[in-house]
Amino acid sequence: MSAINESVTHMIQRQRTNAQEAAKPTDERVRKISPWRVLLDRPELGSIAGTVLVFVFFAITAGDSGMFALDGVINWAKVAGYLGILAVGACLLMIAGEFDLSIGSMIGFAGVVVAIPPMYLGWPLWASVIAAFLVCMALGWLNGYLVMRTKLPSFIVTLAFMFILRGLTLVLSTTFANSTIVSGVGSKFDESPLVSGLFSGTTFHGLFSFLASHGIIESFPNGEPVVGGIPKVLLWWIGLAVVAGFVLARTRFGNWIYTVGGDANAAKNVGVPVRRVKISLFVFTAFCACLFGVLQVAEFGSAASDRGLQKEFEAIIAVVIGGTLLTGGFGSVIGACFGAIIFGVVQIGISYTNIDSDWYRVFLGGMLLIAVLFNHYIRSRAASTK
């Protein structure tokens, strides 16, 4: 007994000398970590490596097919942009430890909510677009509220909404348009410069014409550039990604997202409003889904009840390939964006090669599996004492 007592007293007496020793930069308890390991700790590493791999693959198999010419790039970038918008929302939500399976259905739902009122109820387009965002965000709130209130897994609650919204979309479009497609909305966009300015077509047209007239980019024989500008969807994607990435990495709310996803109970104990954080991310995810739907209606000039089918899974795949843990607490927006780029490049690129495009899903499934295994390895390493 007295031995322990003395040893503690002895240690206490020694503390000052210890502190002085420790003030020196060298400490035998501090381990050097190789730069490679530091790199491995970044969530987006896997997806950046994957993107490089995919680019190398297509550069070899389809390098001279026009896939990497400007119009080819715009082609796959648009696919990446659409998915990227979804992935940004899904990424934040997944880092916070939840996911939303209803976003795919919400894309279709947002589409009919945008298209039906101007076509059949005489609403101005801008009003129906605002209504779509409000309704979708309210549904996102409801998803989040039910998940938090019932403490049920978000899987089951949002699975229910996946079916409810898909069904509602079908009901709405057959009731009003007597068809699964609500067409003719394109003219409404043409009549509304504000809405089409936000969501339709391309921008920087002047710059592209200028570049074409100087022969820097390809042009048609009449002098018009082959690519008339940057699609709006890409601008939305980049804008959203920058804002979400900033919020996640640099703000208090971002720290809350990580804390809530890492350990909800710990988050509560340190005073983080867990419920508010999660519900607001459900709302943000719904916003992203709605944005996807509106952009698609603007591009196609129609809404259809099968739009966004399986997009919830594609978004989750992009996010997971991007290094975010399914269980939450770890991940990055940049990673999710690279995940979306991989998607776009593979989906479009495969048609530029001689490979049968039926292999597309096989390839994605394989990527997902590799990414999950890789993430699992990273996580078990980070969470364990070394």
Partner 1 sequence: MADDYILELDDVSKFFGTVIALQGVTLKLKRGEVHCLLGDNGAGKSTLIKTLAGVHQPSSGDYRVDGQSVRFKSPREALDRGIATVYQDLALVPLMSVARNFFAGREPRRRVLGVLNVLDMKYANETARDKLAEMGIHVRDASQPVGTMSGGERQCLAIARAIHFGAKVLILDEPTAALGVKQSCNVLKLIHKARERGISVIFITHNVHHAYPIADSFTLLNRGQSMGTFAKTDITKEEVLDMMAGGTEIQSLVDELEGRAA
Q: Which of 132, 182, 267, 317 binds partner 1 (CB under 8 A)?
A: 267
What are the structure tokens assigned to 67, written together?
Answer: 């896939």
Helix (H, G, I), strand (E, B) or coil at 185: helix
Site string for partner 1, 36-75 (x = CB under 8 A): -----x----------------------------------
Q: What is the DSSP letter of 339?
A: H
Residues 279 and 150: their CA atoms lie apart, in Å, by 13
Residues 115 and 224: their CA atoms lie apart, in Å, by 32
What are the structure tokens assigned to 7, written together?
Answer: 């040893």
Residue in the structure block whose two tokens are 């770890």: 330
Residues 48 and 237: their CA atoms lie apart, in Å, by 18
| Residue 154 dihedral angles phi and psi, to the nearest 5° | -65, -25
Does residue number 276 form part of the binding site for partner 1 (CB under 8 A)?
no
Residue 304 · residue 113 · CB < 8 Å: no
Site string for partner 1, 13-42 (x = CB under 8 A): --x--xx--xx---x-xxx---------x-
Q: Which of 250, 306, 361, 365 binds partner 1 (CB under 8 A)?
A: 250
Q: Which of 5, 34, 178, 222 binds partner 1 (CB under 8 A)?
A: 5
Residue in the structure block whose two tokens are 């206490």: 12
Site string for partner 1, 360-379 (x = CB under 8 A): -------------------x
Q: Which of 189, 330, 343, 352 binds partner 1 (CB under 8 A)?
A: 330
Residue 120 · residue 176 · CB < 8 Å: yes
Residue 311 · residue 326 · CB < 8 Å: no
Shortest reach from residue 360's CB to partner 1, in Å: 33
Q: Which of 329, 335, 344, 349 binds partner 1 (CB under 8 A)?
A: 329
**Residues that contact partner 1, how many (by CB under 8 A):** 44
Instruction: Pick the closer one to partner 1 by CB: 224 or 263.
Output: 263
Footprint of partner 1 on this chain (CB under 8 A)?
Answer: 1, 4-5, 7-9, 11-12, 15, 18-19, 22-23, 27, 29-31, 41, 250-252, 254-256, 258-259, 262-263, 265-267, 269-272, 325, 329-330, 379, 382-386
